[in-house]
């Protein structure tokens, strides 16, 4: 029997959930297909558990750093219990019931496109005018000799762990490596972080990476840049990671944070005329259209692997399906690593601006030197802010911040970059005293927009 719908959503991570939720609210007949858990990677093995696990040690350190508070204690077993509650004990039955109550047909299984407007799930035939692909991404495990013969964790095992390993080698020093490496170190693991680039967070400006390395070292993480694992072997109970150029590190478990790969295998994309882009993601146009009657959102597009981008693309697709043409714009999207202090960035790096031939000027401020807030917040204040401006157009091109709650105050720069707010207008803005947000005035005042960069 063929079941007919208006829209079939394949994959129910944050991208698919936004699409399904908004289309159901608009009265569409929606089938949602999910082969694991409704909520996706983000809800069970990525954003939610990682932020939940990072928070207790952050607040403990916050107590230590605040004047006049006498210590706080970490309790791994209650942290673990709260993590389990936050990841719904890996049970999505309430989500399934919720979508069914909203009128969706929920199908648990692996979807495969069999032709235009046609999807098959374990022998069930579904038809719809529109198919939305929201299948996300999987962790990349690098091709290192011997890695398949030792204990290796991806984000899945690391975020659902029950006991903290004694010694960890973290391969990768970007978002996943920094967040999970910090969490493990703060719960007592001896963490060695191997990053093959010359610095951490190598896609960002150099300063956030330098500051991140400094703070991770203060937390006891053995950060090694320009370090690549060559081979891995077992030696008794130890896993031994041999490094390019000599040297080795012993550990109990290897955790990989070496990137993500879009989940497109076995989807039957060619049956619907869908093509893959350079980075292996589903190629989409500016409306998130992947083909005739086919749309794609989230990590599977390879555009920017963030939950907020998946949800934004979801909103764009919903409007297009409902008949209001909408174009996705990717300027001014925040990129945050939830370390301690937090690392946030938006827009272009200085190198990207240079490569695009944009006449630019940059300025950095040490917020502890120019603001009151870092001192009212903690006794050993931290906080740096960098801004990058287009000298000719006199608008902000990008910004980065490393400091407490930077994930929140980066949004001032995000809005300025996205809306191209003139710097003279930004200089006239009045920020609440005493906040980290006041740093923008200081940084913008330090910009030299006249001389050549
Ligand atoms: C450790 C870690 C921490 C992160 N923290 C953050 C953060 O703090 N903030 C942030 O913005 N981003 C974060 N991310 C990134 C974020 O997890 C992803 O960008 C987000 O999950 C993408 O959502 P999505 O809907 O595209 O896909 P996913 O969340 O991957 O969901 C896709 C769903 O599709 C299902 N599926 C796949 N193939 C099929 C098929 N053939 N049939 C049926 N179902 C299928 C999968 O089972 C899955 O449930 C983090 C990532 C990691 C690894
Ligand atoms: N807070 C957040 O929003 C958040 C948190 C975690 C992850 N994410 C998303 O997940 C995506 C994946 O993150 P990620 O950190 O896994 O990948 P990434 O692509 O950002 O970084 C991978 C890092 O691993 C290094 N690397 C790769 N192979 C290596 C090897 N063999 N030896 C040593 N180093 C090696 C690379 O040089 C790079 O620095 C990110 O792009 C990010 O968008 C977001």
156 pLDDT above the threshold of 80: yes
pLDDT digit string, tens, across residues 400-427: 999 999 999 999 999 999 999 999 999 9
Pairing of strands 384-390, 124-133: unpaired
Q: Nearest Cα to 200, choosing from 176, 166, 167?
A: 176
393 pLDDT above the threshold of 90: yes
Q: Nearest Cα to 201, choosing from 211, 191, 192?
A: 211
Residue ending a domain, among 211, 243, 258, is: 258
Which residue has tokens 């917040």? 377
Pair 194, 281 in one domain: no
Domain holding 396, by residue range, is 335-445
Residue 191 bridge partners (DSSP): 168
13 CA to centre of ligand 1 in angstroms? 5
Say if 151 falls within a structural domain: yes
| Ligand 2 neighbourhood includes 195 CB (under 6 angstroms) | yes
Distance CA 201, CA 144 (A): 21
287 CA to centre of ligand 1 in angstroms? 21
| Ligand 1 neighbourhood includes 12 CB (under 6 angstroms) | yes
| Ligand 1 neighbourhood includes 299 CB (under 6 angstroms) | yes
Pair 125, 37 in one domain: yes
157 pLDDT above the threshold of 70: yes
Distance CA 296, CA 321 (A): 12
Gyration radius of the chain's alpha carbons: 23
Residue ending a domain, among 321, 344, 362, is: 321
Say if 174 falls within a structural domain: yes
258 CA to centre of ligand 2 in angstroms? 5
pLDDT at 452 (0 to 100): 54
Q: List the CATH number of the domain containing 399.
A: 3.30.390.30
The answer to whether 228 touches 194, Cβ cutoff 8 Å, is yes
Pair 391, 438 in one domain: yes
Pair 157, 189 in one domain: yes
Pair 16, 112 in one domain: yes
Pair 276, 422 in one domain: no
pLDDT at 279 (0 to 100): 85
DSSP at 301: G
Give the residue ranges of DSSP H helices in 298-387: 307-321, 350-355, 367-370, 373-377
Instruction: Give the dihedral of Cα atoms 289, 290, 295, 299; nearest 10 deg.
Output: -110
Residue ending a domain, among 208, 230, 258, is: 258
Distance CA 329, CA 286 (A): 8
Q: List the CATH number of the domain containing 163.
A: 3.50.50.60
N-terminal to C-terminal alpha carbon distance within the chain: 66
Distance CA 126, CA 117 (A): 8
Residue 150, helix vs strand vs coil: coil
Count CB-CB contacts under 10 A for residue 15: 33
H/E element, 179: helix 175-186
Instruction: Report, as an integer, the average pLDDT of 341-366.
Output: 98
Residue 8, helix vs strand vs coil: strand
Pair 270, 407 in one domain: no
| Ligand 1 neighbourhood includes 111 CB (under 6 angstroms) | yes
Q: Nearest Cα to 449, choosing from 410, 384, 395?
A: 395
Band (pLDDT 50/70/90 cuts) for residue 451 is low
Say if 62 falls within a structural domain: no
426 CA to centre of ligand 2 in angstroms? 33
Say if 66 falls within a structural domain: no
Query: How many domains is the chain partitioned into structurally?
Result: 3
Pair 16, 127 in one domain: yes
Q: Which two tokens stand for residue 280?
A: 């292996």
How large is the ipTM?
0.98
316 pLDDT above the threshold of 80: yes
Task: State the chain's mean pLDDT as an integer.
Answer: 97
Percent with pLDDT over 70 in the chain: 99
Say if 213 falls within a structural domain: yes
The answer to whether 69 touches 60, Cβ cutoff 8 Å, is no
Q: Is the pTM of this model over 0.95?
A: yes
Q: Which of 136, 175, 266, 344 to mutate to test the pocket of ligand 1 (most atoms within 8 A of CB)?
A: 136
Say if 14 falls within a structural domain: yes
pLDDT digit string, tens, across residues 67-125: 999 999 999 999 999 999 999 999 999 999 999 999 999 999 999 999 999 999 999 99
153 CA to centre of ligand 2 in angstroms? 14
Distance CA 117, CA 4 (A): 10
Instruction: Report, as an integer, the average pLDDT of 278-305.
Output: 96
Residue 351, helix vs strand vs coil: helix
63 CA to centre of ligand 1 in angstroms? 33
Known binding site for NAD(+): residues? 172-179, 195, 259
Pair 197, 248 in one domain: yes
Distance CA 247, CA 239 (A): 14
Band (pLDDT 50/70/90 cuts) for residue 453 is very low
Instruction: Give the dihedral of Cα atoms 301, 307, 310, 312; nearest 10 deg.
Output: -140
Q: Which two tokens stand for residue 173?
A: 């020093």
H/E element, 194: strand 190-195
Say if 76 falls within a structural domain: no
Q: Which of 12, 13, 298 to mutate to test the pocket of ligand 1 (most atoms within 8 A of CB)?
A: 13
| Ligand 2 neighbourhood includes 194 CB (under 6 angstroms) | yes
- From the DSSP assignment, how many helices (H) and strands (E) are in the chain? 15, 23
Helix axes 47-65, 76-86, angle to 10 degrees: 140
Instruction: Report, as an integer, the average pLDDT of 291-305.
Output: 97
Dmax of the chain from CA atoms?
71
Atom index in ligand 2 nearest the CA of residue 229 equals: 32
Count CB-CB contacts under 10 A for residue 264: 19
Pair 17, 127 in one domain: yes
Pair 203, 295 in one domain: no
The answer to whether 255 touches 156, Cβ cutoff 8 Å, is no
Distance CA 64, CA 392 (A): 46
pLDDT at 97 (0 to 100): 98
Q: Which residue CA neighbors atom 35 of ligand 2 most closely? A: 172
List phi, psi (to 5°) of 130.
-130, 135
The answer to whether 253 touches 184, Cβ cutoff 8 Å, is no
Say if 226 falls within a structural domain: yes
Pair 308, 417 in one domain: no
């Amino acid at each position: 029997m063929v079941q007919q719908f208006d829209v079939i959503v394949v994959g129910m991570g944050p991208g698919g959930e936004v699409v399904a939720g908004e289309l159901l609210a608009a009265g569409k007949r929606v089938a949602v297909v999910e082969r694991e858990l409704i909520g996706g990677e983000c809800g069970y093995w990525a954003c939610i558990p990682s932020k939940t696990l990072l928070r207790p040690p952050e607040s403990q350190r916050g107590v230590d750093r605040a004047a006049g508070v006498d210590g706080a204690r970490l309790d791994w077993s209650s942290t673990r219990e709260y993590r389990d509650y936050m990841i719904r004990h890996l049970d999505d039955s309430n989500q399934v019931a919720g979508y069914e109550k909203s009128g969706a047909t929920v199908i648990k299984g692996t979807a495969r496109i069999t032709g235009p407007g046609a999807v098959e799930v374990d022998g069930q035939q579904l038809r719809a005018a529109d198919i939305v692909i929201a299948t996300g991404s999987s962790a990349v495990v690098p091709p290192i000799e011997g890695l398949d013969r030792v204990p290796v964790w991806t984000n899945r095992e690391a975020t659902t762990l029950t006991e903290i390993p004694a010694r960890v080698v973290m391969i990768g020093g970007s978002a996943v490596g920094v967040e999970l490496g910090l969490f493990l170190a703060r719960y007592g693991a001896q963490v060695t972080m191997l990053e093959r680039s010359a610095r951490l967070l190598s896609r960002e400006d150099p300063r956030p990476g330098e500051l991140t390395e400094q703070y991770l070292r203060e937390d006891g993480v053995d950060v090694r840049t320009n370090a690549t694992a060559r081979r891995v072997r077992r030696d008794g109970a130890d896993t031994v990671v041999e490094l390019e150029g000599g040297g080795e590190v012993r550990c109990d478990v290897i955790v990989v944070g070496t990137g993500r790969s879009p989940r497109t295998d076995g989807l039957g994309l060619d049956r619907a005329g869908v093509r893959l882009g350079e980075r292996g993601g589903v190629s989409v146009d500016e409306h998130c259209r992947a083909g005739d009657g086919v749309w794609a959102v989230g990590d599977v597009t390879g555009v920017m692997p963030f939950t907020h981008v998946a949800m934004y693309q979801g909103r764009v697709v919903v409007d297009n399906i409902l008949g209001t043409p909408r174009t996705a714009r990717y300027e001014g999207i925040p990129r945050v690593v939830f370390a301690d202090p937090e690392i946030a960035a938006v827009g272009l790096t200085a190198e990207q601006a240079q490569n695009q031939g944009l006449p630019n000027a940059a300025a950095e401020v040490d917020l502890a030197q120019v603001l009151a807030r870092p001192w009212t917040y903690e006794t050993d204040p931290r906080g740096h802010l960098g801004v990058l401006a287009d000298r000719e157009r006199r608008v902000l091109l990008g910004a980065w911040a490393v400091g407490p709650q930077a994930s929140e105050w980066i949004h001032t720069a995000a809005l300025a970059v996205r809306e191209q707010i003139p710097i003279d207008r930004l200089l006239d803005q009045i920020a609440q005293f005493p906040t980290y947000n006041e740093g923008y005035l200081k940084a913008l005042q330090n910009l030299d927009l006249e001389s050549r960069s």
